[in-house]
Amino acid sequence: MSTPVTRQTATKGDFFRVLLAILLPPVGVFLQVGFRSQFWINILLTLLGYIPGIVHAVWIIATR
């Protein structure tokens, strides 16, 4: 017996958050998780390098 596969569908809000994550990575993460540890990690990554901040932000948005 196989279990049904559930699909996550992207919404307009997800598109908006990814766009913000590319422009301002911490803002995109904040809109997704709020002031949690992922937000602070993203600020640190963005300060260390803009690209790691973007990658982390898009990953957070895509997995939640």
User: How do the domains of the chain map onto residue ranges?
Assistant: 12-63
Q: What is the pLDDT of residues 20-49, one digit of tens each?
A: 999 999 999 999 999 999 999 999 999 999
Longest pairwise C-alpha distance within the chain: 49
Q: What is the pTM of this model?
A: 0.80
Q: What is the pLDDT of residues 2-25, one digit of tens each?
A: 667 666 677 888 888 899 999 999
SS3 16: helix
What 8-state DSSP symbol labels residue 36?
S
